[in-house]
Amino acid sequence: MPTWKPDPSFYPSPRMAMKAAPETLAYVAAFDPDRKTPDALAVVDVDPNSTNYSQIIGSTAMPNVGDELHHFGWNACSSCLCPNAPHAHVERRYLVVPGLRSSRIHILDTKPDPRNPKIVKVVEPEEVADKAGYSRPHTVHCGPEGIYVAALGNREGKGPGGIFLMDHETFDVRGQWEMDRGPQHFAYDAWWHLGHDTLVTSEWGTPDTFENGLIPEVLLGAKYGRRLHFWDLHKRKHLQTIDFGDKYQLVFELRPAHDPTKAYGFVNCVISLENLSSSIWTWYKDGDKWAVKKVIEIPAEPASGDDLPPLLKGFKAVPPLVTDIDLSMDDKFLYVACWGTGDLHQYDVSDPFNPKLTGKVRIGGIVSRATHPGAKNGKLSGGPQMVEISRDGRRVYFTNSLYGAIDPQFYPDGIEGWMVKLDADANGGIAFDPKFFVEWPAPHRPHQVRLEGGDCSSDSYCYP
Amino acid sequence: MTDTWSWLTFAGLGAFHGLNPAMGWLFAVALGLHRQSRTVVMVSLVPIALGHATSVATVAGLLVLAGAFIPHNLVRVGAGAALLAWAAYHWHFRHRHRVRFGMQVGLWGLAAWSFLMAAAHGAGLMLWPVLMGTCLDSGTAGAGFASPLTSAFTGVGIHTLAMMTTTAAIAVVVHEWLGVAVLRSAWLNFDLLWVAALVTTGVLLVGNVF
């Protein structure tokens, strides 16, 4: 039913969104790496006053097996208040949950019972392929023309990958987003600067080069993605490519400033072929063009070959493998997940070109296997991976699995899933909440976290 | 319908269109906030009004043209049917439009945006009942263009003036005093009101009330 007032979870500006009430629920995508039981969308109680705090209180099983739930998003968010394309009375209600491996997209209704989302529609991979020509749906963002889904492959599972649009009320696949893709071939993440009419995309590789794990020859040959692409958001036209150079591989998560007047953002590069380091780059507007600058480099840590998986033995070092980053709503703190070493870093990025390390915790890690005060098992597997920040910036949640086929390449003894939470000081500094350790029930592993009402990677804004 | 009532209706519908955040005041406010300039808010109103007026005038012109060649009863029923069809279209597809202009829009782009928004919302169509009364009074086809065209453009002028005044007033109040936080509580569902207005005018026309 139509509503008279805008959805209460829509905020005109990021400053206003920071004042939202704390979330009480977190939605977490969980998948079975053996593809024997259906994947599920789990609901975790994150209300510290609840008796079920830090427990999984609901779980919606998918209708098939082997989907590999990964990233997901809301049907609508604060961008619905934008003046050029206003849809203020759409509800933030449905979670759009793709299977990265199956290319099947599940629509879950969170409204009748937020603790027990119900599947109301399933878009089969054939519909995505027939109407948009894509497969392997990854990032989901609510935006000016509906739901934008970044897909890693074309319908044959090769390149080019790209973006397609879905209707934010009927969930019909509306077709390919690009009108002129220029030289873009690889796809991964996509997001935008609404204030600058610019969409940005990043690169992983085509599905045939990652669905059975990373291929060492492709990686060492610098054949995975290493570029950023800048697009005209409304003309849907490719404008500019920035190549990071053949030392750098896997340019992943895009975190543009939330303030729509600011023309900069952060992206992580997973690995340098030169020294196994990870790096964070700031992209920014430089006159009429976009430019990038490397602002953080996190080095690999020396290690004994005996402690390393076969892939890394020869290197005698643990790469940090920064595979996710997230930016707080006020654009002040950047969180950096080092899935290899087990670190999670917090940087003050008030000056986006001079980040300062303000906090650090360690949990899991290929060599360190660091523990958590709430964990029963002393040696944790996996490491900090998908990070999500509450709108007020005071709570940070993360999980430990990267991708079914890649997990065993770096953690050959297997990954036991967990989800943890950090408390963040408003002036910088992070610490584990000792009461929050979710031991994930096997055989599933957790991946992306979305918070009730929105979080720091769900919404975009048109007003400063 | 007397002239006074007609002119008041043109003005009232102008105010109604101006009130709708999708018709421009919100865009003017946003541009002012982005460019940190009160002047930008005021200057933006000109292309917004121009685009709206062009859109409405085009539709009014079509009516006058139709009135010159087609029996007025047929025009009336056709216009009513068009309004009802537009209401149904708007109800189903209101969120499906291509978004062609964003926050970097220039003045011409803003005029084009305003033109397209008014056209897509059927803003001009909504004036047809009152235009029927003022322009096609003589009841027969072939009464000529001159007098209907003058009345139509006077009506469109009054409408645009009222629309622009309302747009300016709200834009200034929101930009200077209320702030965009007010959107969260005060943004009524204009899509519903709009569909109701389209249906009402359509029914009035078909039912030959004016």
Render A330-373 in DSSP notation, one character per residue.
TS-EEEEEETTTTEEEEEE-SSTTS-EEEEEEE-B-TTT-B--T
Based on the structure, what is the number of domains in chain B?
Answer: 1
Give the tokens for residue B85.
């069809």
CA-to-CA distance for A111 and A89, rounded, in angstroms? Answer: 15
> Chain A interface, mutation test: which of B97, B180, B182, most A Cβ atoms within 10 Å?
B180
User: Looking at residue B146, what is its pLDDT?
Assistant: 60
What whole-number distance in Å separates Cα of residue A101 and Cα of residue A208?
11
Sort out which chain A residues have CB atoms less than 8 A from B117's CB and list them.
none
User: Percentage of residues in chain A with pLDDT exceeding 70?
Assistant: 100
CA A390/CA A386 separation, integer angstroms = 14
- Only one residue has tokens 């497969």, namely A135
Contact B99 A234 (CB under 8 A): yes
Residues in chain A with CB shorter than 8 Å from the CB of B194 are none
Specify the residue for token string 């026309």: B205
The two structure tokens encoding residue A447: 């991946």
Q: pLDDT band at A259, cuts 50/70/90?
A: very high
What string of DSSP letters covers A96-146? EEEBTTT--EEEEE-SS-TTS-EEEEEE-HHHHHHHHSEEEEEEEEEETTE
DSSP state of A180: B
pLDDT of residue A340: 98
Residues of B in contact with A172 (CB under 8 A): none
Average pLDDT, chain A: 97
Residue A153 dihedral angles phi and psi, to the nearest 5°: -135, 165
Backbone φ, ψ for residue A333 (5° rounding): -115, 135
How far apart, in whole angstroms, are the C-alpha atoms of residue B97 and residue B21? Answer: 17
B128-135 helix and B190-206 helix, angle to the nearest 10 degrees: 40
The encoded tokens of residue A141 equal 């963002």
Domain extent, residue B197, equals 3-206
pLDDT band at B140 (very low <50, low <70, confident <90, very high): very low
ipTM above 0.90, yes or no: yes
What pLDDT does B5 receive? 85
Q: What is the pLDDT of residues A18-68, one digit of tens each?
A: 999 999 999 999 999 999 999 999 999 999 999 999 999 999 999 999 999
E strands present in A245-355? 248-256, 264-272, 278-286, 289-298, 301-302, 317-318, 322-327, 333-338, 343-348
Contact in structure between A18 and A393 (CB atoms under 8 Å): yes
Considering only CB atoms, which residues of chain B are within 8 Å of chain A?
A: 21-22, 26-27, 29-30, 33-34, 95-105, 113, 180-181, 183-185, 187-189, 191-192
> Residue A376: CB partners within 8 Å, gap ≥ 6?
A439
A446 versus B68: the higher-pLDDT residue is A446
Of B22, B96, B104, the CB nearest to A197: B104
| CA distances from residue A268 to A285, A339, A357, B76, B140 in whole angstroms, order as listed | 18, 12, 16, 63, 72
Residue B122, pLDDT score: 87
The confidence score (pLDDT) of residue B142 equals 43
CB atoms within 10 A of CB A307: 14
Contact A196 B103 (CB under 8 A): yes
State how far Cα B55 lies from the chain centre.
8
User: Nearest to residue A88, comparing CAs of B172, B170, B182?
Assistant: B182
What 3-state DSSP class applies to A269?
A: strand
Distance CA A241, CA A182 (A): 9
Conformation bin of residue A369: beta by default, left when phi > 0, alpha when psi is -120 to 50: left
Cβ distance A161 to A151 under 8 Å? yes
What pLDDT is stored for residue B209 in this prediction?
56
Q: Please write the tens of the pLDDT for every residue from A187-200.
A: 999 999 999 999 99
pLDDT value, residue B137:
60
Q: Left if phi > 0, otherwise alpha if psi is -120 to 50, otherwise beta: which for A228?
A: beta
DSSP labels for B146-202? HHHHHHHHHHHHHHHHHHHHHHHHHHHHIIIII-GGGHHHH---HHHHHHHHHHHHH
* Token reading at A269: 């590069």
Phi, psi of A81 (to 5 degrees): -90, 0
**What is the average per-residue pLDDT within A202-212?**
97
Task: Report the length, in residues, of chain A.
Answer: 464
Which tens digits make up the pLDDT trace of A358-370?
A: 999 999 999 999 9
Q: What residues of chain A have any CB closer than 8 angstroms to a CB in chain B? A: 2-6, 8, 10-13, 16, 81-90, 144-146, 167-169, 174, 194-197, 233-235, 260-261, 462-464
- Provide the pLDDT for residue A2: 77
Could you give all domains of chain A from N- to C-terminal order, each with its CATH number? 14-451 (2.130.10.10)
- For strands A173-176 and A162-166, give the pairing: antiparallel
Residue B118's pLDDT is 94
Asked if A28 and A399 touch (Cβ cutoff 8 Å), the reply is yes
The tokens for A380 are: 């944790």
pLDDT at residue B141 above 60? no
List the strands of the sheet with A173-176, edge to edge: A134-143, A146-154, A162-166, A173-176
Name the pLDDT band for A356 (thresholds 50, 70, 90).
Answer: very high
Chain A residues with beta carbon closer than 8 angstroms to that of B97: 85
Which chain B residues are Cβ-neighbours of A169 within 8 angstroms? 95
Q: How far is Cα A459 from Cα A141, in angstroms, rounded to an integer? A: 8
Residue in chain B nearest A462 by alpha carbon = B30
